[in-house]
Amino acid sequence: MRIMFVGDSMTIGSAGDYTWRYRMWEHLNRTFGRRYAIVGPRSELYDPRADAPVSQDYADPGFPPAARRHLAGWGEGWLHMAPLIEEAVRAHRADTLLVSLGLIDLGFYTGAEDTVANARRFLAGARAANPRVQVVVLPVIPNVRAESDALFAAEVERFNELLAKAVADLDSPASPLLLASRPAGYRLHRDTYDGTHPGPSGEHLIAAAFADAMYQAWDVGDRYTPADRTGRRPR
């Protein structure tokens, strides 16, 4: 299995973060039982001081460079990843994509209908590179803006409905698509450090959503049972 993490700021993470990618790597090491690789064209974290993805300051310096690979970007969404995914899948021979995108699109770039159109473009591009690629997609987790902006909250809800329909429409035995459940019990004021980006408990919950979906649908690994879901975000 060659896994590529695809996402926005919640996936790339910021300097000093563990990231949910790290939590997923730990989980796979505990439960997968076979050889796998994490692949992708990038490995950096976003550095707020440089306002650029140039940091390798992961909270655990023992996180191996080979496991840091991803295709994620601060401020990048389906709009940005759709043109990139075909080449990324082909170049890195990815066969499994774990995708968390959409919040930044809905917040700054496109409405629900255009965002799901870009998601469909993304999936078509991934399949053009690998007709047997399998994809797990996470619904958009509304951020703190949704608490005060009813129109934005409605767009998030509408997009998640359209995304579920797109996954159902496009799923196939040859190239399975799976919609993960929204992370169980995810609370913005506990599981993020700023109302959007996950802290340690949020990282565990996002990783659990992907891991549990893969286990339940594809018998990959096991249910997510981290030794510790707590801890403050390091700085």
Q: Is the pLDDT of residue 19 over 60?
A: yes
How far apart CA 167 and CA 3 sit, in angstroms, is 19
Torsion sign across C-alpha atoms 201, 202, 204, 205: positive
pLDDT of 110 reads 97
Return mean pLDDT, the chain.
94
List the domain boundaries for the chain: 2-218
Q: Find out whether 1 and 95 touch, Cβ atoms under 8 Å.
A: yes
Q: Is the pLDDT of residue 229 over 80?
A: no
Element (H, E) at 9: helix 9-12
CATH of domain 2-218: 3.40.50.1110
How far apart CA 58 and CA 30 sit, in angstroms, is 20
Three-state SS string across 89-135, please? Answer: HHHHCCCEEEEECCHHHHHHHCCHHHHHHHHHHHHHHHHHHCCCCEE
pLDDT of 231 reads 40
Average pLDDT, integer, range 133-156? 96
Q: What is the pLDDT of residues 73-94, one digit of tens each?
A: 999 999 999 999 999 999 999 9
> Which residues pair with residue 38 across a beta bridge?
3
Q: What angle do CA 7, 134, 122 make, to 5 degrees?
A: 50
Q: What is the pLDDT of residues 157-198, one digit of tens each?
A: 999 999 999 999 999 999 999 999 999 899 999 999 999 999
pLDDT of 184 reads 86
* Identity of residue 51: D
Percent above pLDDT 70 for the chain: 96
pLDDT of 227 reads 54
Q: Find out whether 56 and 43 touch, Cβ atoms under 8 Å.
A: yes
How far apart CA 107 and CA 82 sit, in angstroms, is 17
pLDDT of 235 reads 30
Element (H, E) at 47: strand 45-47
pLDDT of 226 reads 67
Query: What's the pTM value of the predicted model, to 2 decimals?
Result: 0.95
